[in-house]
Structure 1
């Protein structure tokens, strides 16, 4: 059975404490020490653009993969070895099967996942944006705009934007649930929807693959739903107890975000300055601590 990103939370709860027990000591030394000795770090990815995927030339790339390459090169680990699994198999592959040393797949930090893995500091934030006709003739910037102007909204089926829309008061008949990013783009480009909602990263990635489309992506922002601002952020994930590895990732990731190196690496994959986590976005906060 194939598990999607949307299925993961249900499965993650079931893994719970058992995954914590499985991920402590690494025989023969810490994960970081062994990686340094071998000159190789093994990464779990889900073949999902723009985070970690195999390109047309057969090379594994993506924002998380390229950031990881730079992180570990700074610690004298010149080679990464990607292992591709279904998204829902990333956590058990890390903590139970020990197929890889670190998850580098753009995984969102949530309290449920924090019960099973140890997350790095946030790698990126993922504000919500809207795909709109070129020039944004309806002036769409928030879910409230969609509601107040009675616009037709497209979202991915089962994605969080559907719940954001309903909780913002948009009537269900105005919402179209579509299969993938390409379907969202076509719906707006063809006039079957007035706008589409998704993370700004995903929408920019979709638009980059369709040059010349008569649409654009609005600036991203975190939606306010039910009076609460909803922040989404992704990070790298290690086994609980792999403190040396996590400290190394955190040290270098912070330095790269502060120096501008992170943005240089991430921009080709649709990330921009508004995807750099602010000082108020912390792993403890996202985990609910």
Structure 2
């Protein structure tokens, strides 16, 4: 898939999501639209979720249909809760939590990491996956960027996803702000690296591998995966603070998916493997602590 085609697909998909939202009404539940509360969703069987159109986590396919790791897992969980229809609302990644708080959708299905700052304004489900970081770089990696500390040494600029944890990792690693360029969308990052507007991109290892696999003409490669801290980054679904019943029911069925082995079957098409299943000892409470 060429980069131009990816960008066009993303734009068309986003337009489809906006049109779907307009057709479905004001988004407050009821007879015409999918619900943004658990009570309404259980009654109607329809629910809205927020996502950031970032493959392979949650994105719109060529037909404008919501797919990816998070929507696929969410559908399996929601079906157990009697909710069969899922409608996606595309949102920039760094606006997802504000969107769920504003009741633009019922919860976030975007593969978002759990961290203390986000826990202040959002309620996370149990950890659902673990990943590392990596750099998307030109083939051969001529500047030998393998860790954040290498960026200022080489004096090169790297892209990040706005609101993603890599921005904080870069800052804590001593990377000057002028060498980090947050971008709103994944296709913007891919285009910028491929065109040489930035040297590389600091993103999740699974994301980087997906981009290279699905854009074979990009002349890019992925560096070896690494963990920024002593424990892996974990991500999951997140809810409004106070939606305790919804989160408890969702957690129950999400744990059951992992216990049965069904989770792995669902996520493998999106590049996740058994190595991405979080250890049972890792908890939301641990990651919410400063």
TM-score bracket, normalised by the shorter chain, equals 0.5 to 0.7
For residues 22-101 of structure 1, the aligned pairs below 5 Å read 32=38, 34-38=40-44, 40-50=45-55, 51-87=57-93, 90-97=96-103, 99-101=104-106
What is the alpha-carbon distance in structure 1 between the residues aligned to residue 88 and residue 75 of structure 2?
11
Looking at structure 2, the residues matched to 116 and 132 of structure 1 have their Cα atoms a distance apart, in angstroms, of 34
Structure 2 partner of 1:251: 252
SS in 1 for 2:100: helix
Question: Which of 193-202 and 139-148 deviates more?
Answer: 139-148
Q: Taking structure 2 as the reference length, what is the TM-score of the superposition?
A: 0.67
**SS across alignment from 1:56:** coil
* CA displacement at 1:262 relative to structure 2: 2.2
1:206 and 2:211 correspond = yes
> For the residues of structure 1 that align with 2:190 and 2:269, how far apart are their CA atoms?
20
Q: Distance in 1 between matches of 2:196 and 2:94?
A: 35
Taking a change above 3 Å as real, the CA distance of residues 153 and 268 of structure 1, as seen in their structure-2 partners, is farther
Measure how far apart 1:101 and its partner are.
2.7
**CA distance 1:190–1:272, shift in 2 (3 Å):** farther
Q: Which residue of 2 aligns with 1:264?
A: 265
Q: How far 1:144 sits from its partner (Å)?
A: 4.9
What is the rounded CA distance, in whole Å, between the counterparts of 2:137 and 2:43 in structure 1? 51
- Residue pairs, 1:87-236, within 5 angstroms: 87=93, 90-97=96-103, 99-134=104-139, 141-144=146-149, 150=154, 152=156, 154-156=158-160, 160-161=165-166, 163-165=168-170, 167-168=172-173, 175=179, 177=181, 179=183, 181=186, 185=190, 196-224=201-229, 229=230, 231-236=232-237
Between the two proteins, the alignment pairs up a number of residues equal to 251
Once the two structures are TM-superposed, the CA of residue 69 in structure 1 deviates from its matched residue by 0.6
CA 1:287–1:186 in structure 2 vs 1: closer, same or farther (change >3 Å)?
A: same
Per the alignment, residue 8 of structure 2 pairs with: none
Gap change, CA 1:195 and 1:61, over 3 Å in 2: closer
CA contact (8 A) 1:130 1:217 kept: yes
SS state at 1:268 partner: helix
Cα shift at 1:89: 5.1
Instruction: Report the equivalent of 2:279.
Output: 278
CA contact (8 A) 1:109 1:283 kept: yes
Which residue does the alignment assign to 2:16?
Answer: none
Indicate yes or no: 2:241 matched with 1:240: yes
Q: Deviations over 1:101-133 (max 9, x none)?
A: 322232332323323332111222342112245
5+ residue gaps, structure 1: 1-30
Q: Is the 8 A contact 2:161 2:186 kept in 1?
A: no
- 1:165: Cα distance to partner? 4.0
TM-score, length-scaled by structure 1: 0.67
> Could you say which residue in structure 1 is the equivalent of 2:20?
none
Structure 2 residue runs of 5 or longer lacking an equivalent are: 1-36
